[in-house]
Structures are given as C-alpha cells and as structure tokens.
Amino acid sequence: MDGCFDLMHYGHANALRQAKALGDELVVGVVSDEEIVANKGPPVLSMEERLALVSGLKWVDEVIPNAPYAINEQFMRSLFNEHKIDYIIHGDDPCLLPDGTDAYALAKKAGRYKQIKRTEGVSSTDIVGRILSSAEHTLVSEKGDESSLNHKQCEGSHISQFLPTSRRIVQFSNGKGPGPNARVVYIDGAFDLFHAGHVEILKSARQLGDFLLVGIYPDHTVR
C-alpha cells in the first residue's frame, strides 16, 4: 500500500489494518514531499515524520521512503521484482492525477490491484480544515465577539464520525492481555494529532515493561 500519510489518522490505521489482512507481509510506500507538492499541495509533516508514524504501526512490516505518487512502470517493476510484492492496495476512493488519469491504472491492468474500504469521515484535508476552523474560533474569541461563534457551534463542527463499536475495537486490538508475571506499565495523554513524538514516547514507555496500557483522556478533559 502507498500513500501520503500526512497527519496520520485512524482512517490510515484502518486502511493499513485491512491491507495487512489481505496478505502475510505489508510493505508501505510513503510518497515523497516533492510528489505530494506536485499532486495535492504541500504536506504538513515532513518525509521523516510521516515515515516515523507509518513505521510505528503494528501492521507495517517494511516501509519504502520517497515513493512516487502514481504507480509508474519502473516503480511497479521494482515492487514486483525487488520487494516481491504480490498486490498493490488502495482505498476505494478514486485516486486521480492532475491530468485526470487513475494513479493505479497500470497495477489494475497488470491484474495486481486490490481495494479496501475507505473509512468515512476523516482525511488529512479534513483535519487541516478542523485546525483552521478552531484557529478562527480562537481569533473570534480573542476579539471578544462571542456572539458570532459560540463554543457549542465550534464543538459541533469537530465531532468525529468514527463509530468505535465493540467489533471495531476488537479488530484493532491485539487480542492479548498481559501474561501472569508481566510488568504492566501505564501512560496517559490526549494523543491529539498523533505525531512522531507520540510514537517515540510510546516506544520508550513500552521498553519499561512487558505490557503497555495507554489511557486516552476524554474530550472534555482535553478541553
């Protein structure tokens, strides 16, 4: 699977989870900064930060940095011959190049393309929009013009559409609890806009024990 994975979110995690379930090993191509600029506009996070995020996910076995945005002939051959990839996977949203052609046309033609279901309600673009609208809200509040945008309205526009049903939680979990003599460690936080620093601290915390339990503050605590 390849992608930009900018401001990595649960839609990306769900995509990688589904991709891993389609095979034994999951190789992820992280699109280069230059290719993102040329095809979508500048990313928020750098290549190194996006790599740290993707590599930290339990479903990812290997990463290819600086991948092209479109699967071209040369890159596709290197995926098949050097990385021994069987299938190229993408979400079921159309991925078009600036000239309107399909970025996965070659992989589809070669019969080596598979699709997973895109997670509704979240994207990197949507997250940037949420940040901009909360910055706008802060500016309005600082000017003291509370009547034009009240707190309730602002909360409403940020409500996630992700439904953490018990089935979904089981799909995301390891299904493993701590062993009888395990040293269990706990870390808590907001983990808002999950970034490379979060990956680092979670790795460090995990090294202090055999089982890491993570507490996530509720929205009202973070506010």
- Interacting residues toward ligand CTP by CB under 6 A: 1, 3-6, 11-12, 15, 40, 90-91, 93, 118-119, 122-125
Beta bridge partners of residue 115, listed in sequence order: 90
Residue among 35, 24, 26, 28 at smallest CA distance from 2 = 28
**Beta strands at 27-31 and 2-3: parallel, antiparallel or unpaired:** parallel
Residue 46 vs 125, nearer CB to ligand CTP: 125
Contacts of 176 (CB under 8 A, 6+ apart): none
Provide the minimum distance between the beta carbon of 132 and ligand CTP in the complex, in angstroms, as a whole number: 14
Contact assessment for residue 17 and residue 171, using Cβ atoms and an 8 Å cutoff: yes
C-alpha to C-alpha distance for 42 and 125, rounded to whole angstroms: 11
Provide the minimum distance between the beta carbon of 139 and ligand CTP in the complex, in angstroms, as a whole number: 24
Residue 123 vs 134, nearer CB to ligand CTP: 123
Residue 12 vs 112, nearer CB to ligand CTP: 12
Length of the chain: 223
Provide the minimum distance between the beta carbon of 14 and ligand CTP in the complex, in angstroms, as a whole number: 6
Residue 114 vs 206, nearer CB to ligand CTP: 114
Provide the minimum distance between the beta carbon of 204 and ligand CTP in the complex, in angstroms, as a whole number: 27
Residue 40 vs 168, nearer CB to ligand CTP: 40
The H-assigned helical ranges of the chain are 10-21, 33-39, 47-55, 73-81, 105-109, 124-142, 151-157, 166-172, 196-207, 219-222
Provide the minimum distance between the beta carbon of 31 and ligand CTP in the complex, in angstroms, as a whole number: 7
Provide the minimum distance between the beta carbon of 184 and ligand CTP in the complex, in angstroms, as a whole number: 32
Cα 121 → chain centroid: 13
* Cβ-closest position to ligand CTP: 91
Handedness of CA 198, 195, 159, 11 (dihedral sign): negative
Residue 35 vs 187, nearer CB to ligand CTP: 35
Token reading at 108: 């589809």
